[in-house]
Structure 1
């Protein structure tokens, strides 16, 4: 049943953080001595278990290298891992400031598809995330969007009802998955549009 709470649940990449750094896939492909297109296919095809915490970083990169029929060694894996983490490290300063400002008027949480080691690095670089009411990383909770279990984790962890949430993501399939379990949803296209949606969704007097 509704608890009369209002929780803005943010996605990370494409909303608060930038998408992958341009040129990163080409750089990693070159390190593997592989064509960029082939590397990109392997990178994404092998990714789901890593994002969902079912594989470690070495297991993921071993799968990528074997997909490409490349030799597997610890130095290559570590270089790829660090390059990959760096490629996802950029934030949108304006959105960071907006997310932080919302905590003056409502609860704010985060649900991101991100491997466990990436999450650790991101938290170190962005310690303000620890001030949010809840932070859920797929690699830590063992469930990745659009799996309903990822959204249910947030409901249970925050002792809330699905209808208490407004989930904000730049991917429509994830927003639809959140709505399917009863959350409110918004497909993110920009800060100003989102601010208008949130202002309408929140009670007038807090």
Structure 2
């Protein structure tokens, strides 16, 4: 076990520190594929889990999506969709970024995000402050995505801690329940103010 027994706040990324997908992005990609937004949305998410978990390359993922839509999976189309997709997930909440960075004075801070490997590369290049956190568990790199218990167990091992040392923060109730099932505390994120109160109560007083 680590000699650093400070508690660990483990953050989800999208919907907590980063914004959800840019409005209109799926419609833009659907138009590029000459298909309806509804059909594109179905294919986009149906084939996403292996890509998120790092079991599939971006090229393989987009090939599956395009074939599901009965469209040709040529290299130019795949690359255009891939870059549009990455851009659609690129926004952060600056106020939350400041809060997370300042929190490191009081606790260890780590990240557990469902994000494909190529998205992670782009996001880390654009947001270098993430490298200052105590650990980054990015699904496309660790081979496990929430709510798989393996994603949470990876964090426990990587940070040389016990599950009870963690407070996991996510905007998805399903993922928070999964963290709780492996022994972590959990909080469903709704606002920064609510989160700050929960963390203040959860961290030991000095």
**Shorter-chain TM-score tier:** over 0.9
- CA deviation vs aligned residue, 1:29-62 (integer Å, no higher than 9, x gap): 0000111100000000000000000100000000
Contact 2:2–2:160 at 8 Å: present in 1 too? no
Q: Distance in 2 between matches of 1:203 and 1:54?
A: 39
Q: Distance in 1 between matches of 2:180 and 2:102?
A: 25
Which residue of structure 1 aligns with residue 123 of structure 2? 122
Tell me, what secondary structure is at the counterpart of 1:175? helix
Contact 1:2–1:164 at 8 Å: present in 2 too? no
Give the direction of change, closer, same or farther, for the CA distance of 1:2–1:187 in structure 2 (3 Å limit).
farther
Give the deviation of 1:72 after TM superposition.
1.1
Contact 1:11–1:168 at 8 Å: present in 2 too? yes
* Count of aligned pairs between the two proteins: 205
Contact 1:5–1:160 at 8 Å: present in 2 too? no
Tell me, what secondary structure is at the counterpart of 1:33? coil
1:52 lines up with 2:53 in the alignment: yes
1:164 lines up with 2:165 in the alignment: yes
Provide TM-score, normalisation by structure 1: 0.98
Tell me, what secondary structure is at the counterpart of 1:69? coil
1:131 lines up with 2:132 in the alignment: yes
Give the deviation of 1:102 after TM superposition.
0.2
1:1-206 equivalences in 2 (<5 Å):
4-205=5-206
Q: Which runs of 5+ in 1 are unaligned?
A: none
Q: Distance in 2 between matches of 1:92 and 1:184?
A: 24
Runs of 4+ in 1 over 6 A off after TM superposition: none
Tell me, what secondary structure is at the counterpart of 1:143? coil
- CA deviation vs aligned residue, 1:178-200 (integer Å, no higher than 9, x gap): 00000000000000000000000
Q: Which runs of 5+ in 2 are unaligned?
A: none
Contact 1:113–1:145 at 8 Å: present in 2 too? yes
Give the deviation of 1:157 after TM superposition.
0.4
